Amino acid sequence: MSVEKNVVTNSFLNIEPIDLEYVGIKKDALQGEVAVITGGARNIGLGFARAIAWAGGKVVIADILEKEGQEAERVINAENGPDTALFVKTDITKEEEVKNLAEKAFAKFGKVDILINNAMNMRLNGPVLSSPIEDLDQSYAISARGVMLLVKEFVPGMIERGHGIVTYSTTQFHYCPPLVGGSIYTAGKAAATSIIMSLANEVKGTGVHVFCMIPAGVGRIDFSKLPPLPEGKEMPKLAMPGFDGLIPPEAGGAAMVYCLLHAEELHGSGIMINDAFEAMDYPYPNPSTLPPKMESRRLSDMELTLVFSNMGPGFKKKK
Ligand SMILES: NC(=O)c1ccc[n+]([C@@H]2O[C@H](COP(=O)([O-])OP(=O)(O)OC[C@H]3O[C@@H](n4cnc5c(N)ncnc54)[C@H](O)[C@@H]3O)[C@@H](O)[C@H]2O)c1
């Protein structure tokens, strides 16, 4: 790891320096807030954690990956000063580990204001017919059971204090459209999205704001870990640090902080990351290479209950 004037790069975590100032976010924008980020030891979750810390928040990283989690804690403290970050090794599917997470978070920071539900196992990515049933159990364990355990652990305190934000890193696919793959993965995401959107209705008016953000296309590929390509083949250029393909996790973090700052407005919404970039007028260098914009909008209470059954063309219209 190299640290120079709080600018940190780290090849183990595969991160780039982070700076939200040029997108108009102030250094103290989240001062006084404490966030728990599940799956925060790497990739998108780490981007969220670093961005929240950059904006003045304290961050608690909950992840099963010990080495990455400890390194993430070290990097965030190097970037923002000691006692900004805390890593608690946590399997969010286990109730006692979620309780331990809460104990450690409260002992260190005294409260939790923001819960970012972001953990998932992307390996649970098979089709229905060829996936073992255990994959579905695991998908639900992380994405439904884990999310509900965290919500039950942290949201009552937020309601009591009349202040809080809950987010879920969802997907735009709540069933598996042809060619996309990942039926088992999307089943878990749909379950958690349902829990989170129901929660949005339940906590309305309490001061706790709930929304989903779809970080589609965020990530950074470590080319050195990929198998060599056949002779004559070239890897398509995916921009790093630019946006010529994948969106860097640091930019994903900026979008998350922007959404947190607009949580009241976003309550009950599911938004694509591109919508956040558009709203914040993000000066991304290659907008045309971003995934195509998908329409998102605030759903009414009634739509929230209907959204999962309202799929496909239905009966053919009689002529
Ligand atoms: N990458 C994308 O384009 C994309 C698109 C839509 C949604 N998402 C969602 O965004 C989130 C982050 O995606 P990513 O690409 O960074 O994934 P990732 O696999 O790189 O990171 C997920 C993290 O969750 C952790 N995790 C897994 N199981 C856990 C458990 N039981 N307890 C605690 N932590 C656990 C992993 O260790 C890992 O650090 C996921 O929920 C994913 O479904 C990603």
pLDDT tens-digit series, residues 230-267:
676 655 444 333 445 578 899 999 999 999 999 999 99
Whether 318 is covered by a domain: the verdict is no
In a domain, 2, yes or no: no
Helix axes 66-80, 43-54, angle to 10 degrees: 20
* Nearest ligand 1 atom to alpha carbon 41: 39
Q: Give me 259's structure tokens.
A: 């959404």
pLDDT at 275: 81
- Residues marked active site are found at 185
Series of mean pLDDT values for 10-residue runs along the chain (319 residues) = 56 88 92 98 97 98 97 96 98 98 98 98 87 96 98 98 97 69 87 92 95 87 63 52 67 95 91 83 55 56 58 69
Does a structural domain hold residue 3? no
Distance 318 CA to ligand 1 centre (A): 45
User: What is the reported pLDDT for 96?
Assistant: 98
Q: Where are the beta strands (DSSP E) in 90-175?
A: 114-117, 164-169
Say if 313 falls within a structural domain: no
Nearest CA to ligand 1 atom 36: 39
Which CATH number characterizes residue 74's domain?
3.40.50.720
143, part of any domain: yes
Q: Distance from the CA of 38 to the center of ligand 1, in angstroms?
A: 8
Of 223, 206, 189, 220, the residue nearest 118 (C-alpha): 189
Cβ(44) to ligand 1 under 6 A? yes
Cβ of 149 closer than 6 Å to ligand 1, yes or no, is: no
Number of domains comprising the chain: 1
Cα(34) to centroid of ligand 1, in Å?
21
Domain contains 167: yes
Q: Are strands 7-9 and 2-4 parallel, antiparallel or unpaired?
A: antiparallel
Determine the structural domain holding residue 165 and report its residue range: 21-306
Confidence at residue 300, expressed as pLDDT on a 0 to 100 scale = 62
139-160 residue pLDDT tens = 999 999 999 999 999 999 999 9
User: Is position 81 within any domain?
Assistant: yes
Q: Whose CA is nearest to atom 20 of ligand 1?
A: 43
- Which of these, 88, 55, 87, 58, lies nearest to 74 by C-alpha position? 87
Residue pair 252/48 in contact (Cβ under 8 Å)? The answer is yes
If you take atom 30 of ligand 1, which residue's CA is the nearest one?
91
Per the domain annotation, does 61 fall within a domain? Answer: yes
